[in-house]
Structure formats: C-alpha cells, structure tokens
Structure 1
Amino acid sequence: MAEIAKTFRVPRRHGYAVEMSPYLTSRLACATSQYYGIAGCGTLLVLEQTESGISLVRSFDWNDGLFDVTWSENNEHVLVTASGDGSLQIWDTNNPMGPLQVFKEHTQEVYSVDWSQTRAEQLIVSGSWDSTAKVWDPAASKSISTFQGHEGVIYSTIWSPHIPGCFASASGDSTLRIWDMKTRGTKIAIPAHQAEILTCDWCKYDQNFIVTGAVDCSLRVWDLRNVRQPISDLSGHSYAIRRVKFSPFHRTVIASCSYDFTVRFWDFSKTEPLLETVEHHTEFVCGLDFSLHIPNQVADCAWDETLKIYTPLCLSCPS
C-alpha cells in the first residue's frame, strides 16, 4: 500500500524549497529554479491545496534561481525568498507586480532564509555561500547584523522556535553553530560531521534538541547541553541529505529528504528509528515541510519538476 499523494507539476522549473503557511491550512509556497539552479531564472509559486488536488494561486518570477522560501510570521500574505544573485526578495500575494523590497548585501548565492517564530521579534535570517549569516528587520533598508565565523559555505540558517534572538547555521566547514543576537557571536560551535552539513532544524518541543543532515548520508540529533557526541545517529540514505525537519506534532519524529530521490521518516526514540522510506520522485528531493495545521501531512519538492502533498503511512496509522 502506497501513500496517496496530490501532485503539482511545474514545467521547466526544479523545486528547491517548500514551506506550508503558518496561517492558512491549505496554502503553501515553493521556491524553484530554471536549469537546476545552475543558470536561468527562478519562480516563486504560491499554491492552494484543494480536495481534488493542488492549484496555483500566484507565481512570481525573479531573474536568478530561488533556493529557499519562508512565510512571514505576522502577515499571511507576505513571503521572503533567497536567490542565487545574493539577494532576498519580499513578496506580497496581494501585489502581483513584483517584490515589495529587495535586500542585496550578500556577495554570493543566498541558500537559506527563515523568519523568526518567537513573539518578541520579527526578524529574518539568511545564510550565504559567502560564509556569512545576516539578520534583517523587514522594516529597515539594510541588514541589522552580520555574523562571521564559518570557514565554508552556509547552507542552512534556522531560528530557534524557543529562544528569542538565537539561530543555528549549518556549513560546508562541517560545523553546526548556534548564534546569539545579544552577543553577535557564536554561542556554540559543534564539529557535527566529518563532511559538509547541508541542513539543520530545531525540535519544536525541546529548546536543546537540534538535528543535522550532511553529505556523509547521516542525520545526527544533538543535545546542546552536551555536544561531545550526538544523542542519535541515523543512517539509511545513500546520498547527501538535503533537508531535515522536526515534526510539529511528535517530539522525536524527523523527516529527511535526499539526493538519493527519497524522503525518510524517523523516530529517534525507537530501537529501529527508520519508520518509512518514500520513493515517489525521480530526481534530487530538495524541499520538505510538515503542515502546522493538518497532523502528519507533508509537502516535498524535487528536481523532477513536481511537488507532492501526502501523509506518510507510518504517521497515518495509530502506533
């Protein structure tokens, strides 16, 4: 028995990131690039999930590839994308004319963007191939802080859902770093893998748990109170792990997607942590997200020009 997936096809666009709306149950966004992100332009797709499938609400084109997308946490119509030309774009789904604002300070590709989730602030963090992370106030015309310390490309920057002014970054220098806005520096530097780290995510239920995914095909779960070794080392992917996400409904459930064309679901509290392997793409799977509204529903996107929404069997059946 296979998952029943709704599919949206994007001709001549390759999916890099997907994020479900924190406000609207049925809405999601997908950042895509032409020619696999190596050349050409990018398109932001705003999509609506219906009973019969997935429909396009609006699309926005940019003159370079789009590699990541995040929804505003204070306006259901606003999104931010990260681009290969070193810029971030702020879009409004009610304004089809183009971006409301463009931030351009990074000197190389921006590969990651995230909007803070804590109520005390409304800030954006970006991570770039120029080895810097920058924090932006959407109301300001330039970045408010630049964070330096990584010795390689930054692939992932994620705000803590628990601690204001705290974010994590994952880099090609094989380290995971935790940063603090108050001190404007690294709080913790963890040599998390012996390979490039492409992705990280925070546990939604415990401020001390964070997961990393790397080119060595492994996921590692870390407890920030003791980082000498991971509390869980998850293996099963056969190529680099492109994105990891903690479930918003289960404390120890993680989803990962990979260049091996699969999405895998894990529960690191179990003796046999691999719950399920989903094989419904024919190219690199780059984007992945859990719905915040519909328990255990997942969206993913890949270089095979498709986006899929489904509930994995391992999470749809009672344990």
Structure 2
Amino acid sequence: MEQSFQMPGRHGYSVRVSPYFGHRLACASSQYYGIAGCGTLFIIDVTPEGIVLVTSLDWNDGLFDVAWSENNEHILVTGSGDGSVQVWDVAQPRVYGIDWSQTRDNDLILSASWDQTIKMWDIMRSESLASFSGHEHVIYSAAWSPHIPGCFASVSGDHTLRVWDTKKPYMAQIVIPAHEGEVLTCDWCKYDQNLLATGSVDCGIRLWDLRNPRQHVSQLVGHGYAVRRLKFSPFQGSVLASCSYDFTVRIWDFKRQKVPLEIIEHHTEFVYGLDFNLHLPGQLIDCSWDEKLMVYMPKSLTPLP
C-alpha cells in the first residue's frame, strides 16, 4: 500500500528509516528549495491508519541530510546549509551541536562539505576529530563502510570516488575517476565489502570493485537527469534503488539486466531522498521537492507468495 505525507512549505532532501523501529522515519527538509529560509526535521510514524507526525524540529538554515544513531534510538544528526552539524535528542528535543558509523566506532559521524573537506566527529565533543582533504570540488556525500571499521568513501564534483582510512587522514587510499560529470552519491553493497555504486550528473550509475578499481564492473543507464541518491538493498545483494532529478525512482538488479526492473513516477519534482526499510523487506521511502514523502512497496521488490 502506498502512503504519502505532506510537508507544506518544505522541500524534502533526505529520508532515513530508524534502525530500531521500521515504522519510524526521519526526513530532512528545507524552505525555498534550500536556497534560503530555514529547515525542518520531521519525525513520523507509519501506521495502518496512515502516516502520523511525531514531532517537527526547526533549524535556522536548510537541512540537507539526516542519519540515525546506531546506539541510541532517540538521537539523530543533520547537516545544514550554514556549515554546521546538529545532533538532536528526539526524547528531549534540543540541539546539542552525515553518515553514522555502523561498525565498532558507532559514536562517530561524517560530514561532507562544500568547503572540499570531510570531517569526522564524536557526538560527545564539540570539535572534529579529523579533517580529510584531497577533493578538488564540492563533496556531495561521504559514507562509512558497513564492513570495514574506520573506512569510508566519498564523492565530489571533481568527478572522483575516493576511499579513506581514518588512521591515515591526510590522503585517500584509493582515487577513482568515476564519471564524466560531477558525482553526487555513493553507497556500499551490504553483501560485498569491495563493491560500491556511484551516481552522477551524467545520468549514469556505475559499480566499482575496490580490488580492481581501474574500470567499473557494471554501468546502469536510464535516468533522464542527474542521479541524486542511490541505495543498495539490505535484503538482495544485487539490487539497488536510485532517485533522480527526472522525478523518478528506479529499481535495478545489476546481475540480471542493465535496464531498470521498475520505474516509479509518483513525484512532480526532483526526488532527493531515498531509503530502504531495514525491518520490512521490499519497502522504500522517498522524499521530493514537491513537498511529499512517500512510503510504498515497489512491485519488483514484493516477495513472491
């Protein structure tokens, strides 16, 4: 069943499912398409009766990404257009202060910035633990490896994918010229520690094996405009989903075919945020600049009876 949640005056940028509760979602949003105005973090519950707003938390600048804590069900972190990182306690809504480490160092978060640096933070400290430089343009995304402690990947407007070791913060361990255009998103495969995917303004998605990074192992083409975000399925090793400025979400199985399994067209603006539900196989959540958040089960991901 498809359900929608309206965010009047707010344009969705990122949506994440709680790692603790499959019915609870967080959505980072901004006024005026993120160009001006404030931001709002929406916490919502998906119920059989419909989507219910739990709370909404405002910040004085746009919010562009959100991640849940891996060790506290009430804590989230957001990244803002004013260059700051916010840590929120939903149980006691206040600001203490973007990807959260999923391995042993699960107090650590990453923030990727337009200042061409990535910073690593411990939520108990006000200053960053390390800064990572090397990209030559805006950094759009940084993502921890779900397999290798202290390892993360980043992508940038300089067309590269880079893989870092936090023990050696001054130089990326692997630099891959990943696309012909700016690279906006990356994600790690949940079933193969060497496999990553990247999405670009060149409309393409590429799969990379870190054991042989000179050439992509697969390329998925079909989006009409830039690929803004992609996610590997937590349940099927060869399945991923992507969303785009072409208003669509697409489901892919890169081992079966190079064209989408399914194209979902339920938005009327850029689709920015995308996540799989870790608790409910086949469920996707997305958010768009059309002020809507959608919860649904794509036909291509519905388990066979």
- Name the TM tier (shorter chain): over 0.9
Q: Of residues 14, 19, 22 in structure 1, which corresponds to 2:16?
A: 19
Do structure 1's residue 64 and structure 2's residue 54 form an aligned pair?
no
Distance 1:247 1:116 in 2: 18
Name the Cα RMSD after superposition.
1.0
269-278 or 290-299, which deviates more: 269-278
Superposition map of 1:40-189 within 5 A: 40-96=37-93, 98-99=94-95, 101-102=96-97, 113-184=98-169, 185-189=171-175
Give the AA of the match of 2:220. L
Distance 2:209 2:13 in 1: 29
Q: Hey, what does 2:238 align to over in structure 1? A: 252
For the Cα contact (< 8 Å) 1:170–1:197, is it kept in 2? yes
Give the AA of the match of 2:205. L
Distance 2:205 2:258 in 1: 14
Do structure 1's residue 293 and structure 2's residue 290 form an aligned pair?
no
Q: Deviations over 1:35-80 (max 9, x none)?
A: 0000000000001010021110011000000000000000000000
> Identity, % of aligned pairs?
62
SS at 2:261's partner residue? strand
Give the AA of the match of 2:64. F
Residues 1:80 and 1:120: Cα distance change in structure 2 (over 3 Å): closer
SS at 2:242's partner residue? strand
For the Cα contact (< 8 Å) 1:121–1:164, is it kept in 2? no
- Which consecutive residues of structure 2, in runs of 5 or more, have no partner in the other structure? none
Q: Deviations over 1:234-283 (max 9, x none)?
A: 00000000000000000010100000000000000013441000000000
Shift of 1:318: 2.7
184-193 or 278-287, which deviates more: 184-193
Shift of 1:171: 0.2
Give the AA of the match of 2:144. W
Do structure 1's residue 234 and structure 2's residue 220 form an aligned pair?
yes
140-149 or 118-127, which deviates more: 118-127
Distance 2:34 2:125 in 1: 29
TM-score by length of 2: 0.98
Give the AA of the match of 2:111. S
Give the AA of the match of 1:159. W
Give the aligned length: 304
Q: Deviations over 1:267-314 (max 9, x none)?
A: 000134410000000000000000000001100000000000001000
For the Cα contact (< 8 Å) 1:198–1:243, is it kept in 2? yes
For the Cα contact (< 8 Å) 2:222–2:259, is it kept in 1? no
Q: Deviations over 1:121-176 (max 9, x none)?
A: 42000100000000001111210000000000000010000000111001000000
Give the AA of the match of 1:133. I
Q: Hey, what does 1:312 align to over in structure 2? A: 298
Give the AA of the match of 1:46. I
TM-score by length of 1: 0.94
Q: Hey, what does 1:262 align to over in structure 2? A: 248
- Which consecutive residues of structure 1, in runs of 5 or more, have no partner in the other structure? 103-112
Distance 1:227 1:216 in 2: 19
Q: Hey, what does 1:105 align to over in structure 2? A: none
Distance 1:208 1:15 in 2: 31
